[in-house]
Amino acid sequence: MKTSQATGIALVTLLAGGAGGYLLGQQKNAPGNADVAFAQDMMTHHAQAIDMANRLYVRLLAEKTLSPQQQNLKYLSYDIITGQSNQNGQLLGWLSLWGKSPNNPTPMDMQAMGMATSEQVEALSDLPLNEATSRFLQLMIRHHQGGVMMAESALKSARTQVVKTLAQKVVGAQSNEIQQMKNMLTEMKVEPQQDLEQMDMDSMPGMDHSN
């Protein structure tokens, strides 16, 4: 075989191998069902947390004087509003890039994931402020526990690194905030609600992990 022919064959083989590797990498990094379901469901989950935090933040902002504990609650609610709004922007951007709807046609059981009822959320605007603050903490602890469960499931099942990175941030940040809120309730001498039980996420509607 002539040198030029051998060189040509080697080049074609190298290019074919590179193309195959690229396609394999693209397939590996393509979002699977778990990535899409996490993005869709976490947007819904975050939206309620933002609503709850905003209701309390607005009321605390209107107060002329705040106790140190109320001041801490104002900071916490602001962090939830801004942090989870930013994450929802990321999630919406990914879904748009993936050509997926922000709405999950088969959403998971959101109450099982710690979400409050609409009546509980609305009450945060109407209850006396001291009662509203303790109720907010009770509800948000369970809400965060559900968010951590969702994120831990994504860490096990997601394909894309961006989803796994965000899921890890959710686990870390919300676990820390859960402890912070439990400490606040202890200072108030108010009992937290029973912890949300760990559930089998794979068996829940909306968490199809087949890829």
DSSP per residue over 26-52, as a string? HHHHS--HHHHHHHHHHHHHHHHHHHH
What whole-number percentage of the chain has pLDDT above 70? 80
Q: What is the mean predicted confidence (pLDDT) over 196-200?
A: 65
C-alpha–C-alpha distance, residues 37 and 52, integer Å: 23
- Decide: 63 and 70 in contact? Cβ < 8 Å: yes
| Cα Rg of the chain, angstroms | 23
- Can you give the pLDDT at residue 211? 54
- Can you give the pLDDT at residue 110? 82
- Decide: 209 and 34 in contact? Cβ < 8 Å: yes
Q: What is the mean predicted confidence (pLDDT) over 188-208?
A: 68
pLDDT tier at 197, thresholds 50, 70, 90: confident
Mean predicted lDDT score pLDDT of the chain: 85
pLDDT at 19 over 80: no
Vertex 129 angle, CA 131 and 194, to 5°:
30
- Can you give the pLDDT at residue 38? 97
C-alpha–C-alpha distance, residues 28 and 132, integer Å: 47
Q: Which of 60, 106, 74 is nearest to 207 (CA)?
A: 106
Q: Is the pTM of this model over 0.85?
A: no
pLDDT at 65 over 50: yes
Q: What is the mean predicted confidence (pLDDT) over 141-151?
A: 97
pLDDT tier at 108, thresholds 50, 70, 90: confident
In angstroms, how far is CA 147 from the centroid of its own chain? 6
- Decide: 201 and 41 in contact? Cβ < 8 Å: no
pLDDT at 140 over 90: yes
- Can you give the pLDDT at residue 205? 47
C-alpha–C-alpha distance, residues 188 and 35, integer Å: 39
